[in-house]
A and B are shown apart, each in its own frame.
Chain A
Amino acid sequence: MEQILQDVDAVIDQWGAKPESLLQIMLDVNHKFNYLPKESLLRISERLRMPISQVYSVANFFKVFSLTPRGRTMVQVCTGTACHVKGTPKLLDRMRQDLGLEPGQTTEDLALTLETVNCVGACASAPVVVVSGETYSEMTPNKMAALIKEIKAKSA
């Protein structure tokens, strides 16, 4: 906790404790912890002398921010039309079955966060999954399970 606040203070000092710097500060804090811890928002509100309701509202508005801890690896499953038709729901079912993970949720060990995206423009390879910028084509539930296993192993 103390460490979090120290880090947040360092970011605020870098940008200056003024409302105009809010987004930059939040981006850096979000980058540092991979999400915006509650204490960090309270600290930002206090130091920038902005109402916490406003800070919270901004944190809520942009998709780049997360208010819950996120995994070290982002797993994005495409739910575009082509991928959907070619079996994305089955991939998500497998995730639910194996890890109890719904889209938007993170594994307990913070290894990965599962997300859905709406079309990555690779319909010919549907269904696709994007992991840390790398695209995996023509996924099946089994291939998906293997991929996750690999990510978790790497993360541990």
Chain B
Amino acid sequence: MATITLKINGQEVQVEEGATILDAAKKAGVYIPTLCYHPYLPLEEACRICVVEDVRRGWSTLVAACVFPARQGMVIETDSEKVQESRKTILELLLSDHPNACMTCQATGDCELQDLAYRFRVKADAYPGERHKHPVDSDPNPYLHIDMNKCVLCRRCIRACHDVQGADIWTKVGRGFEQRISTAFELPLQEAGCEFCGHCADFCPVDAIGFRSGRYEMRAWQLQKGTTICLQCPMGCGAVYDTYKGKVVTVHGDFKAPSNTGALCKVGRFNYNFVNTPDRLQTAYVRDGSGDHAPTTVDAALDTAAAKLAEIVEKHGGAAVGVLAGGMLTNEEYYLLQKLARGALKTNNVDNVAGPWQLPLYEGLSSSLGWGAMTNPLDDIALAKSLLVLGSNTLEKHAIAALRARKAVRNGAVMIVAHPDRVALTKNAEKHLAIQPGSESSLLCGFLKVIVSEKLFDAAFVEKHTQEFDKLERSLEKITLKDVAERTGLTEEAIQDAARLYASKRPSFLIYGADMAQEPANESLYRMGAALQMLLGSVGVPGGGFAAMGVSGNAQGAADFGAWPKYLPGYRSVSQAAARKTVSNLWGVEVPGEGGLSWPQMFEAIEKGELKALYVVGVNPFELGLPERAVESALAKLQLLVVQDCSKTKAADYAHVVLPGAAFMEKDGTAVNCERRVQKLTAVMAPLGDARADFDLIQGLLGRLKADLAPADRAQAFDEAVQLIKDMGPLRYAALGEKGPCWPIREDGSGTDRLPLSEDKPSLKFFAARL
């Protein structure tokens, strides 16, 4: 691309062709004020506060720097009298219809208009005249506070709603002085279909659209900001937390984060009550002789828990103990937890809540593709030309994947959403297939059938990169579309049309989000998904891949670091002696060879009296979807229940020992998101009272049970674990920076974004399709 040289305030700057004057000024370090402009939104040119003087021979003109392209030989003045005057007038006109009630405004101290008015020393009453009188707090929703009197019509909210979220709720209505930001038919947000992602409030430069939380309780400068990774779903979004006195006030998207680039979902944005709740555990409890919970020090509680665990292992063997972790732990915590189970408690009965859903994902994909996780980064979804979305209500459970899919649709892709309900994403879809719940696997089978029998696949890709196509072909001969139609509840024609549509444009992206509300899929679903993508030549290419996503925030890390019964860290099978030996050698203790129980099996084993002790970390067993009675009865049967959580759950009532843990934003450590990105978490505040991060508590237990197994700190735990995880081998805790790499990690520490395809020999494998 050609380079352009221009002069800004007498200083020469070189920029690429296509850059704006503002880009050039930034490069030259020259300040130009902006208001409607935002680096992460499309350009709008609504406010003109960024005017600069474009000096030509003998005359000059004012242009908007944020949109005006830089040209060769341009002479720009950003601070001339003409510019100063013009900016001042623009600001004064803006203020002439602004409440100027900064004293009581929530945005004070964090308001772009206020900052500009201050900087340019404008008078608020330079132009007395008519002012708008919109109702204050005009929308009854529980999340956002709307006061359109403060609106400066920058339209960032409209752009954020369209370009970031793709919900298209906000729009501009009316003309001239009557122009305002509104929803269609002036409906309240909820009725207008708002998804409450909060992006509009995040981008609003003033307080026209603001957050309700913290309003009239604290000012902007009292908030402490901290950036970490949200672990509430497997997207692994970077999130900036505003905290005040140990409570989360507001959450913002981190623009620098690779998976979400500033976006957040409703859950990440507004679900932090589990941190702010008055039920937070601030001290440890041990059940005394009378059966009551007596508060005690954390160390004393750890002593009790360790002694009782050792006693049960001594008496009944490791098989009588189970360890169950939640979905929001760090890698180091998962690693330590399974080390505790296998190394100290002599059992493979260790699982995380997401385990049963992650297992078929890993086994299905690793056998088909060579690695058992998502094939591409999330960003790639936006490059797809056709999309098939299955499984969870994507906008709620795996929001970033849904946002990227919407972006692809805006760029001309076709999307098919298969879900029993008309979920919000269907409004952007070309087709909605209202399938029977749980029939995703059958639908994929139907797609394979149509694409193979009508020869819609990429024969060259199949020839070059895949093996055992005949196996798939033969298995499909036995399956009829009629069977598929019966299972899915669709007509044969609908399946044919959808499959043809999906195959008509490439690259294509298959999005499947697992859902805890549904039974785990079997590995055949993942193999058929992989097969579909292989047929379409859409694996490991930009815009073509399989977004297979688990059910919890660090489901990928839990699997990678071995916190499940079937595999040791690095997917080393427990049933293989050689794998056990590698781990045993590293740890210096024998790893048990007896198979472990998944968490649903653990509850069955408790019921049967086989499992006598349970250590629960960061999960409420009453929220696992099991019948409440069954959980009550199981917990009551245990000889020892150790509950470690950040708040007092119902399970704590049944516990013999309660340990006060921390929430994910109070932790340091690492996590792996669904796109295999190893990211660093940095605590944004300290755990409350005596509470400690789960790592410290697990380490305390491990130290008491088998001191030589306990690593000194998180870094040591991580660096030890990656010795067992081939794909992460070269990673070091201390070297992990702001933007984590995606595993497999190369020798130089860089990541691998997409599944590599071998040029020499076929690396992908078909399996028989199953209805």
Interface residues of A (CB under 8 A from B): 38, 41, 51-57, 60-61
**Residue among A54, A55, A60 with the highest chain B CB neighbour number at 10 A:** A60
Residue of B nearest to A63 (CB): B175
Asked if B39 is at the interface (CB within 8 A of a chain A CB), the reply is no
Q: Which residues of A contact B173 (CB under 8 A)?
A: 56-57, 60-61
Interchain CB contact (< 8 A) of A54 among B171, B174, B175 = B171
A61 contacts across to B, CB distance below 8 A:
173, 175
Give the residues in chain B near A38, CB-CB below 8 Å. 185
A87 CB to closest chain B CB, in angstroms?
26
- 27 A-B contacts, Cβ less than 8 Å apart? A38-B185, A41-B184, A51-B162, A51-B168, A51-B171, A51-B184, A52-B168, A53-B168, A53-B169, A53-B170, A53-B171, A53-B183, A53-B184, A53-B192, A54-B168, A54-B171, A55-B184, A56-B171, A56-B184, A56-B185, A57-B171, A57-B172, A57-B173, A57-B184, A60-B173, A60-B174, A61-B175
Chain A hits for B192, CB < 8 A: 53
Q: Mark B171-187, 1 if CB is under 8 A from A, else 0.
A: 11111000000011100
Enumerate chain A residues within 8 angstroms of B185, measured Cβ to Cβ. Answer: 38, 56
CB contacts (< 8 Å) of B175 on chain A: these are 61
Smallest CB-CB separation from B428: which chain A residue?
Answer: A49
> How many residues on B have C-beta within 8 angstroms of the other chain's C-beta atoms?
13
CA distance A89 to B667 in the complex (A): 71
A80–B601 Cα distance when bound, in Å, is: 84
Pairs of residues from A and B, 5 with the lowest C-beta to C-beta distance, nearest first = A51-B168, A53-B171, A56-B184, A60-B173, A57-B171
Q: Which residues of A contact B172 (CB under 8 A)?
A: 57
Which residue among B168, B172, B174, B184 has the maximum number of chain A CB atoms within 10 Å of its CB?
B184
Distance between Cα atoms of A41 and B186 in the complex (Å): 14
Minimum CB–CB distance from A19 to chain B (whole Å) comes to 12
Q: A38 to B186, alpha carbons, bound, how many Å?
A: 12
Residues of B135-192 contacting chain A, CB below 8 A = 162, 168-175, 183-185, 192
Q: Given A54-B168, A55-B184, A56-B171, output 7 extra A-B contacts at Cβ < 8 Å.
A: A52-B168, A53-B168, A53-B171, A57-B171, A57-B184, A60-B174, A61-B173
For window 542-582 of B, CB contacts with A under 8 Å fall at none
Q: Please give, as numbers and ranges, the residues of chain B lying within 8 Å of A54 by CB-CB distance.
A: 168, 171
CA distance A60 to B175 in the complex (A): 8
The smallest C-beta distance from B163 to any residue of chain A, in angstroms, reads 12
List of B residues within 8 angstroms of A53 by Cβ = 168-171, 183-184, 192
Inter-chain CA distance A57–B179, complex, in Å, is 10
**Cα distance A49–B185 in the bound complex, in angstroms:** 18
CB closest chain-B residue, reference A60 = B173
A43 to chain B, nearest CB (A): 13
Chain A residues near B170 (CB-CB < 8 A): 53
B residues 169-226 touching A (CB-CB < 8 Å):
169-175, 183-185, 192
Report the separation of the CA atoms of residues A41 and B170 in the bound assembly, to the nearest whole angstrom. 16
Interface centre among A38, A41, A54, A55 (most CB of B within 10 A): A54
Which residues of the partner chain A approach B169 to less than 8 Å between Cβ atoms?
53
Residues of A with C-beta under 8 A to B183: 53
Chain A minimum-CB-distance residue to B166? A51
In the docked arrangement, what's the CA distance between A51 and B169, Å? Answer: 8
Q: How far is the CA of A60 from the CA of B185 in the complex (A)?
A: 10
